[in-house]
Amino acid sequence: MRLINARITSYRSVEDSEEFTVEPNVTCLVGKNESGKTTILQALHRLNPAEPAEPFDEVVDYPARLTRQRKQWAQADRIPVVVATFEYDDLEVKQIEEELGFGALTSPEVTVTIGYRDDSRTVAHAVDEPTVVGNLVAGLGLPPVGTVAELRAMLEGREEQTEETGAVLDRIRAWRDGDVAHHLADAYAAPRLPALMYFSDYDIMPGKVSVPDLILRRDADELEPGERSLLSLLRMAGVAPEDFLEPGRHEQLIRELENASNIISDEVFDYWSQNDELEVRLEVLPAADGPLLQIRVHNRRHRASVPFDNRSRGFVWFFSFLAYFSELDAGDRDVIVLLDEPGLSLHGRAQEDLLRLIDERLAPTHQVLYTTHSPFMISPDHLHRVRTVIDHDRAGTKVSADLAAADSDTAFPLLAGMGIGMTGSLFVGEHTLLLEGPSDLIYVDVLSDTLDSHRRDGLDPRWTKAPTGGAGALATFAALLGANRLHVAVIVDAQTRNSRAVRRLRDNGQLGKGGLIDIGEFTGTPDADIEDLFEADFYLDLVNLAYAKELPAPLGVADLPAVRTRIVDQVRAHFAQHDLAGGRFNHFRPAAALLKHQATLVPKISVGTLNRASRLFGRLNRQLP
């Protein structure tokens, strides 16, 4: 079961966040200070906290500006705060259908609601109750009814029960309140609902702690988050705090703890590139009120050690987080990791290490939501996972995937992060032409140079060509560059042109006039890629050249399926159908072949191709001043 979207209302700075989607692996909440990022995570955490969390307090937590609205709610009513939608995976749906029959659920989505005045969760399924009833009584020859309640009443009203009808009645009675929705909530949703683990930059392990005090706070459920990390380390070592109260066992316990800390340290150094000369050591110090457990970080390079919480906060955070996470990760329940401003005190390269930890260590098995205002914590290769968090006047905190709506302060780390990623390979100019990928760049350059050699106008050199790395990033790059007052044009295919994100850019005026260039306009087909500027025979020559070793025989137009209009889609389908090159077609390889063999291939480009390219470049050039 995974989280797919959420909505927060009436909580601190959030009057209504509006529904925002959550990525299946990593979601990044970006916003300036005091925008409400922490509030969003803390509200989500209460859905199913991995550790005990304070309940919502409507007097303290309800937005002060809306106090009059709060008092209008009836005392018996729950005031919703978090409404989150989860989704069962295919195996979980199959398990439900094995019990309740095929079609019992009309959707794999589950809505979970929590709020003020009631600490319990409300769980709602999209259940088709008549179908469930039909599956329960199939073959029993009973008159049709529409609800489980009606079926139960009918069965209880029978003077005699057969073995089969009695079994059905017993099943219904075993459900809470005899309700199939409650049964689904109890038997499937509750056991599978992921635990939410909240960890902030300040939740680091203490350098020294009194063992008796630690036991008292644990038993009173008054532990600080950093102390929970320490207890996680103890449990990993198979050690309890009470063990330190037994005289004569300290050395054995310290050895067990050091073994556990070495395991964590080894994992830290898989991602911590700043200094590999550190190691964690533990000591037990005598004290009048009971032993003290001290954690120290030893620097082999300087041959000195300092208390754990006096060490570089970056290393301390890494170690504390992995100690806490490793125990939860070893459990048998799904965990959603909520990281509040991780890496706040880290150097830029160390933040890149942290991003790598998130992507490689956490995301493969757990959903991760983290907040940041650092450009180094924004991956330019994954801008689709960014959600902006903005605190609007008289509207409160809003969360949105629409980067085009971000104000300059919120967009700044996005622009900076994008700039960091683009520095080595992408130059942005006053007039920027966005292309989907490097193959598009090759074709544009070759066709433009060919037109120039024929004394025809190619692409104006004032255009700075920028491959974005895929259609999914086009809208994001266009929005962010447009916000920086750059003149932006985008070459797209029909599918990208009609995407929601690109339509918003066009409707919001964030592209220059006529800045959305559809390839199909120049090929005369409703759906086209830039490869469709070429004649089909010429493009297949590129494919045959690029895949000479993998193809048993050269491809011809007659070999391709005619159900698709784009030449790339036709070739991709042929490769998949005949398991060529592992069934995968890389559309960059033909472009690379053209680039490598220009001398022999360029003379074969048809006049029709050059005419189509000329119209495309003319359209672009007319946009320049």
**CATH at residue 85:** 3.40.50
Residue range 277-287, pLDDT digits in tens: 888 888 888 88
| One domain, residues 543 and 459 | yes
| One domain, residues 438 and 323 | no
Instruction: Among 260, 292, 327, give the residue marking a domain's end.
Output: 327
Binned at pLDDT 50, 70 and 90, residue 423 comes out as: very low
CA dist., res. 293 & res. 282, Å (int): 7
Angle of CA points 90, 94, 96, to nearest 5°: 120
DSSP 383-413: GGGEEEEEEETTTEEEEES-GGG--HHHHHH
- 525 lies in some domain: yes
pLDDT of 15 reads: 96
- 241 lies in some domain: yes
pLDDT of 239 reads: 85
Binned at pLDDT 50, 70 and 90, residue 562 comes out as: confident
The chain-wide mean pLDDT, for the chain, equals 87
CA dist., res. 393 & res. 390, Å (int): 10
Going by C-alpha positions, the residue among 9, 8, 121 that lies closest to residue 55 is: 121
Domain that holds residue 63: 2-23+32-195
To which residue do tokens 């005990």 refer?
A: 52
Per the structure, the count of domains in the chain is: 3
pLDDT of 330 reads: 73
| One domain, residues 174 and 242 | no
Binned at pLDDT 50, 70 and 90, residue 509 comes out as: low
- 347 lies in some domain: no
Instruction: Return the percentage of the chain with pLDDT > 70, whole number.
Output: 91
| One domain, residues 609 and 474 | yes
Token reading at 249: 């066992």
pLDDT over 90 (residue 84): yes
Range in 161-175, 357-371, 444-458, 462-476 the model is least confident about: 462-476
pLDDT over 70 (residue 469): no
Instruction: Return the percentage of the chain with pLDDT > 90, whole number.
Output: 51
Helix (H) or strand (E) holding 231: helix 225-236
Instruction: Among 327, 351, 374, give the residue marking a domain's end.
Output: 327
| One domain, residues 522 and 589 | yes
pLDDT of 263 reads: 80
pLDDT of 411 reads: 81
pLDDT over 70 (residue 188): yes
| One domain, residues 459 and 535 | yes
pLDDT of 565 reads: 76
pLDDT over 60 (residue 427): no
CA dist., res. 476 & res. 209, Å (int): 48
| One domain, residues 140 and 256 | no
| One domain, residues 13 and 162 | yes
pLDDT over 90 (residue 511): no
Instruction: Among 327, 359, 394, give the residue marking a domain's end.
Output: 327
Long-range contacts at 468-474 (CB < 8 A, ≥ 24 apart) = 468/434, 468/435, 468/436, 468/437, 469/381, 469/437, 470/436, 470/437, 471/436, 471/495, 471/496, 471/499, 472/384, 473/383, 473/384, 474/434, 474/436, 474/502
pLDDT of 607 reads: 96
| One domain, residues 278 and 141 | no
Binned at pLDDT 50, 70 and 90, residue 347 comes out as: confident
For residues 388 and 515, which has the higher predicted lDDT (pLDDT)? 388
Residue range 309-336, pLDDT digits in tens: 776 777 788 888 888 888 777 777 799 9
pLDDT over 60 (residue 425): no
| One domain, residues 66 and 159 | yes
- 296 lies in some domain: yes
- 256 lies in some domain: yes
Average pLDDT over residues 34-48: 96
pLDDT over 80 (residue 504): no
pLDDT of 221 reads: 87
Average pLDDT over residues 361-370: 94
- 569 lies in some domain: yes
| One domain, residues 53 and 186 | yes
Phi/psi-derived region of residue 221, left when phi > 0, alpha when psi is between -120 and 50, beta in every other case: left
- 372 lies in some domain: no
CA dist., res. 583 & res. 261, Å (int): 46
Average pLDDT over residues 404-414: 81
| One domain, residues 65 and 113 | yes
- 318 lies in some domain: yes
